[in-house]
Amino acid sequence: MTPLDSLAWSNRFATLGPEFFTELHAQGLPDPHWVAQSAACAELLGWPAGWASESGALQAFSGGATWPGMRPLASVYSGHQFGVWAGQLGDGRALWLGEVETPHGPQELQLKGGGMTPYSRRGDGRAVLRSSIREFLCSEAMAALGVPTTRALCITGSRLPVRRETVETAAIVTRVAPSFIRFGHFEHFAHHDQLEALRHLADFFIAHHAPECADAPEPAVALLRKVALQTADLVAHWQAVGFCHGVMNTDNMSMLGLTLDYGPFGFMDAFDPGHVCNHSDDRGRYAYARQPSVAFWNLHALAQALLPLLPVGTEAETEAATERLLGAVEAFRERFASQMLGRMRAKLGLATADDGDQQLADDFLKLMAASRADFTLSFRRLSRALTDAEPLRDLFIDRAALDAWLVRWRERAARETGVEARMLATNPAVVLRNHLAEGAIRAAQHGDFSEIDRLLKVLSRPFDEPVLPSDAALPPDWAQTLEVSCSS
């Protein structure tokens, strides 16, 4: 195989022009070391198992050197944060290295934590070991669950001190995706009336990532509809696995419908529709139950950014164009509802459709909420409740109400085949709970990276029962004190 330092890198994003980015090199980590690598992500790239031992790999992925063909740059974008226009943002601590051809098409690689850029907004441009481990593990865990996501190739670390709430050590996580273009890229050029740049960006994205939109009567409308449908699929999948993003700002929304920017995320333990995983979100804007409506709101912001690409010369033309874009956004509602019902049917073991399925699913969620039953364990134990419901009953306060619901569910399931197998392949045994990540973080902060590797292997097979029962157990009491915030 071709040595990795001889790979052919392409730089399609760099062809957009200097108004889209600033070229600069990373500020390399001093005396770097490997923290973790993902074999699954390396396989996605078509790289050999021992890629990390190749000459120059550690320096390349700790920001100290570049391989021939890499063209590091930080892109500019804007966005709405917590529902308020925040103005210019951009890659404040991320550097795009370029893209490589893979068995799965072109993939971009990006360093997160490589130092200050022109878009750092008084920040230091660094990432800490704690947050890098969380992003690395969750990126790969989500991929194993089948949730659309950016991937994580590796983490490098250093003893370089970085100040957050306390002094921590620096790290860099290498992220992988077909594209890191966000809603905020379009918002930036629309807000600044850079209409040629906005059109150039739309043409670029359609050509490389949505070619089926090119021949539509209005490519921008077709693109918005495509993004709305992909976003609906994504959020339905989040809801179905109990995942809370924590900071669904428009600058954190992927144009490809990928989970992007793992910061204050969390998988729910006790089910609470109003659960807020981000300690910084004091108004609960990004609570679990609000994620679909926030995604819908964000799509309206994207529609506003795309409006100048349509005929808007007169007031009547503007109104008509707005209606067409809003119609594209509306595609989100029906798609999300159908995707969510389909995923809930699968979680209940149902392969066919019945008019009462929505109510059956809603009633189980209400029972879970009333008892604050563990989200992941409730569905996993339900998977075996056709023959043994006692482990499930242990999670609920009102067992009589659960028993009554189980009668209805069993009657419905009796009309299906392969129910238990379907549910065990849909309801994971293991997700990246905060306390599992915290265990790996604490060990790594003392120089022991073995728990990251062990946990990564467990998370790569989320539907298998783990060797250690504690990986799939209720969280320990001390986990209730864990908090994640925008610094996470």
Give the percent of the chain with pLDDT over 90. 93
Q: Residue 170 contacts by C-beta under 8 Å, 6 or more apart in sequence? A: 29, 113, 126, 127, 128, 129, 157, 158, 160, 161, 162
Give the pLDDT confidence score for residue 4 in this predicted structure: 85
Is 314 within a domain? yes
Report yes or no: 63 and 111 within 8 Å, Cβ to Cβ. Answer: yes
From residue 219, give the alpha-carbon distance in Å to each of 77, 180, 207.
22, 20, 11
Is 465 within a domain? no
Q: What is the mean pLDDT of residues 13-41?
A: 96
Q: What's the rounded Cα separation, in Å, for the pair 442 and 449?
A: 10
As for how many domains the chain has, the answer is 3
Helix axes 315-347, 219-241, angle to 10 degrees: 30
Shared-domain flag, residues 34 and 137: yes
Is 446 within a domain? no
Give the pLDDT confidence score for residue 134 in this predicted structure: 97
Q: What is the mean pLDDT of residues 476-480?
A: 80
Q: What's the rounded Cα separation, in Å, for the pair 231 and 295?
A: 7
pLDDT tens for each residue of 343-364: 999 999 999 999 999 999 999 9
Q: Final residue of a domain: which of 375, 401, 424?
A: 424
Q: What is the mean pLDDT of residues 384-399?
A: 97
Shared-domain flag, residues 324 and 379: no
Residue 2 has pLDDT above 70, yes or no: no
Give the pLDDT confidence score for residue 485 in this predicted structure: 63
Q: What's the rounded Cα separation, in Å, for the pair 465 and 377?
A: 12
Give the percent of the chain with pLDDT over 70. 99
Residue 487 has pLDDT above 60, yes or no: no
Shared-domain flag, residues 176 and 29: yes
Residue 3 has pLDDT above 90, yes or no: no
pTM: 0.96
Domain that holds residue 65: 4-180
Shared-domain flag, residues 241 and 378: no
Give the pLDDT confidence score for residue 482 in this predicted structure: 73
Shared-domain flag, residues 143 and 219: no
pLDDT-based confidence at residue 21 (cuts at 50, 70, 90): very high
Residue 251 annotated among the catalytic residues of the structure:
yes
Residue 165 has pLDDT above 90, yes or no: no
Shared-domain flag, residues 204 and 284: yes
Q: Final residue of a domain: which of 160, 180, 200?
A: 180
Shared-domain flag, residues 243 and 143: no
User: Given 91, 251, 269, 281, which residue is catalytic?
Assistant: 251
